[in-house]
Amino acid sequence: MSEEAQHPEMVADRGKWEWSELYRKEDWWAIWLGFLVLAVGLVIFLPRPPSEMREKLAATEAAMAAEAARAPFQTVEWYQANDTRSGLRARNEPYAGVLARWLDTPGAWTANPLESLYLSESAAAARRSAAEPAYQAAQEETARALAGAREAQEAAAAAAFADAVLNERAESAIREWRLAREAERGTVRTLATVQAYNKIPYLAGLLVLIMLFFSIGAGFIGIDTVGFMRGFWFVFALAVAAWIVGGQANLESWGFGGLIWAILGGMLISNTVGVPEFVRPALQTEYFIKTGLVLLGAEILFSKILAIGQPGIFVTWVVTPIVLVSTYVFGQRVLKMESKTLNITVSADMSVCGVSAAIATAAACRAKKEELTIAVGMSMLFTAVMMIALPTFIVSVGMHPVLGGAWIGGTVDSTGAVVAAGAFLGETGMFVAATIKMIQNVMIGVIAFGVAVYWCSRVDCLPGQKVSKMEIWYRFPKFVLGFIAASIIFSAILSAMGGAGDVMIDQGVLRGFSVLVRDWFFILAFASIGLSSDFREMAHQFKGGKPAILYVCGQTLNLALTLTVAYIMFFKIFPGVTASLMN
Amino acid sequence: MPVDHPPRGRGRLSGWLRLCVGLGAIWLLAYVVLPWGAGLRLVRPVMDVLAASGAEATHYFYTQSEETAVAQMYVRNTLATSRETAGQRGGSGTAAGSGQSAVPGQRGAPEGSEEG
């Protein structure tokens, strides 16, 4: 029997390219549709910057520079300039508000799930009035703390900032003001400023828009377009239901959001009452995920890796690949995992950044849906545990907040959990944690590309077969090209625009538009995964608990290595960065 | 990706019962298990901070997180102004982002007692 007959799942060398693939293949349609969304975003936002944007940018930067030269610590005026700079956002403009309303997901709720879709004016007024006393108290506290901070700063300035005791008092008063300000802008403000809403008409409109959007390419790639449109409402309804479940206050606080409920809800339906036949043409997991990944590519902005300087690069871009490769090798050689795709998907989601890394890696190596489900499920479970355990440990041993923040950012999987855990360390710890996690997020592009190339050239081939460059090109998942191209293009645009890039691209096109669209595409993909998944297949993949053992062992290495490298970088090699952050 | 096979046919009533059990399990998780967990002595302090801050633990990518936007702006501006100040003072002040090592006890050096 020939080797090809023995391994029918392996692709033999074909190495051919047809130009018709550009309009017949799903990967290419994911690229065209993804870039269409990004282009629409650029056309909407770029011609409409906030008024006097450039003047405000220049003024805030000049103010921060002047204050840094005037005092040896960050003054009240420095912080106010930083806050103004941070608040300059294209997505705060009225036109962006219209987009946000159309793309909004069901909101948070506690006891009544309908509140995620509709809140009457009387109910909103009742909430505002109940929260008003606490909000007023918080505002008064902030004002009092600000007055105290100004007074202490003026005393220090009167001594030309040469008196260490007065300087320390001023810094302490300013920290108190920042804490009061943070408390004022948290949940209490959200409750005191809540407005009435009705999301149902927008959701109905969005259902039609997204259905038509994906129908554009459906016929070309061989999807039954009419069947797709007939069944799409069911998938969309499950996605909305998943958002609603994930918005329940207790579930949300533990990090169990819409994505996991889309999968679990779909699996519950498919493994109990079964999925109606008319829905099946709409279960286009890969079509949704690949289009979403092209949009995610635009969020991989390479300039972000310098956000916290060289220490950040070592903690993320050096430690993460070491942990990823070590965990994968451990999974193959020690645990002897049957599925390489499951191994790399779990290794990536544990070492890089959870769900988003799992999605990108699974698509790059063509993992099974059940494998992605296992990776995402485990990531969310362990993240919930680490979100509590890690900051509790850090505070209990009195660890430095910069070190603790870097440790959390480099090891806890999801950004939201990182922010939540980092908040327990204080403002600086949270800022460091969130920044480290952001830099790690940017790694996804390189990881996905590397996995795709490795899989095409080394894994998906017959033993001893040498794969030609043309064959690698043929097998390469083309949507990854769109993913990388979007990253390169948007990174270049952001760099070219300077400060305006943060306002118009990061806080405009991306956070104000394409991120919201991408969220919908991913949850539709996860709903499709759930509706086409089989519990038995998943149970088989989880046999022996090897994925969990892989995750735990890999995360143990991750925790040890990240802490070690973070300590060396932030305290031995670049202590000035730490000092600046704490100043 | 390989073609998925739908589950075998089951009795309709049995299927709906299992669906209800599944939904019941989600309800238990949301209203019994997780609130119990959030009330544990070690867990409560973190949950209280999370609730007060308004941070959303469900965000899985940095672009969804408001706090990340604020954090990176603060960190970037802090390091930028520290570098400018160090440059103006001829490197005698705070050193930021460079390979200069600080002597413990001097301004700008992290305090050893705070390290883990």
SS3 of A514-534 = HHHHHHHHHHHHHHHHHHCCC
Strand, helix or coil at A399?
coil
Residue whose C-alpha is closest to residue A213's, from A358, A102, A362, A301: A102
CA angle A482, A485, A486 (to 5 degrees): 85
Helix axes A546-567, A369-396, angle to 10 degrees: 40
Query: What confidence score (pLDDT) does residue A540 get?
Result: 85
Distance in angstroms (rounded) separating the CA atoms of residues A307 and A511? 18
Q: A482 is written with which tokens?
A: 């769109």
| Nearest residue of chain A to residue B39 (CA atoms) | A250
B window 79-108, beta carbon within 8 A of A = 79-82, 84-86, 88, 93-102, 107-108
To the nearest whole Å, the CA of A396 is away from the closest chain B CA by 10
Query: What confidence score (pLDDT) does residue A348 get?
Result: 96
Least confident of A32-41, A89-98, A297-306: A297-306
Query: What confidence score (pLDDT) does residue A14 get?
Result: 54
User: What's the Rg (C-alpha) of chain B?
Assistant: 26
* Phi, psi torsion values for A117, nearest 5 degrees: -110, -30
Least confident of A30-34, A148-152, A405-409, B10-14: B10-14
The reply to whether residue B62 touches residue A415, judged by beta carbons under 8 angstroms, is yes
* Burial (0-12, 13-18, 19+ Cβ within 10 Å), A48: middle
> Which of chain A's residues have a Cβ under 8 Å away from the Cβ of B50?
253, 420, 423-424
Q: First-to-last CA distance in chain A?
A: 71
To the nearest whole Å, the CA of A85 is away from the closest chain B CA by 8
Number of neighbouring beta carbons within 10 Å of residue A484: 18
Task: List pLDDT tens digits, range A229-246.
Answer: 999 999 999 999 999 999
To the nearest whole Å, the CA of A235 is away from the closest chain B CA by 16
CA A124 to the chain's CA centroid: 30
Chosen for mutation from A86, A253, A385, A519 (greatest number of chain B CBs closer than 10 Å) is A253
Q: What is the pTM for the complete model shown?
A: 0.90
Q: What is the mean pLDDT of residues A544-549?
A: 93
Q: Which residue has the tokens 């069947």?
A: A227
Query: What confidence score (pLDDT) does residue A9 get?
Result: 44
Query: What confidence score (pLDDT) does residue A12 get?
Result: 45
To the nearest whole Å, the CA of A53 is away from the closest chain B CA by 16
Distance in angstroms (rounded) separating the CA atoms of residues A137 and A147? 15
Q: What is the dihedral of CA A154, A158, A159, A165, to 10 degrees?
A: -20
B window 57-76, beta carbon within 8 A of A = 57-65, 67-76
* Burial (0-12, 13-18, 19+ Cβ within 10 Å), A94: exposed
Running DSSP on this structure, what letter comes out for residue B11? Answer: -
Strand A197-198 versus strand A118-119 pairing type: antiparallel
Distance in angstroms (rounded) separating the CA atoms of residues A565 and A546? 28
Chosen for mutation from B58, B85, B115 (greatest number of chain A CBs closer than 10 Å) is B58
To the nearest whole Å, the CA of B83 is away from the closest chain A CA by 9
> Is residue A446 over pLDDT 70?
yes
Q: What is the mean pLDDT of residues A277-290?
A: 96
The reply to whether residue B61 touches residue A183, judged by beta carbons under 8 angstroms, is no
Distance in angstroms (rounded) separating the CA atoms of residues B71 and B77? 10
Question: Between these two residues, A412 and B108, which has the higher pLDDT value?
Answer: A412
The average confidence (pLDDT) of chain A is 92
Distance in angstroms (rounded) separating the CA atoms of residues A141 and A188? 13
CA angle A284, B64, A581 (to 5 degrees): 145
β-bridge partners, A198: A118
Q: Which residue has the tokens 């855990």?
A: A421
> Is residue B101 over pLDDT 70?
no
Residue whose C-alpha is closest to residue A342's, from A478, A542, A535, A523: A542
Query: What confidence score (pLDDT) does residue A18 get?
Result: 82
> Is residue A304 over pLDDT 80?
yes
Q: What is the mean pLDDT of residues B6-25?
A: 82
The reply to whether residue A246 touches residue B18, judged by beta carbons under 8 angstroms, is no
pLDDT band at A462 (very low <50, low <70, confident <90, very high): low
Distance in angstroms (rounded) separating the CA atoms of residues A413 and A418? 7
Residue whose C-alpha is closest to residue A254's, from A386, A101, A124: A386
Q: Which amino acid is at B71?
A: A
* Phi, psi torsion values for A427, nearest 5 degrees: -65, -50
The reply to whether residue B77 touches residue A82, judged by beta carbons under 8 angstroms, is yes
Residue among A69, A245, A434 minimizing CB distance to B71: A434
Residue whose C-alpha is closest to residue A79's, from B81, B23, B10: B81
* Share above pLDDT 70 across residues of chain A, in percent, rounded to a whole number: 96
Task: List pLDDT tens digits, range A31-60.
Answer: 999 999 999 999 999 999 999 999 999 999
Strand, helix or coil at A119?
strand
Task: List pLDDT tens digits, range A155-203.
Answer: 999 999 999 999 999 999 999 999 999 889 988 999 999 999 999 999 9
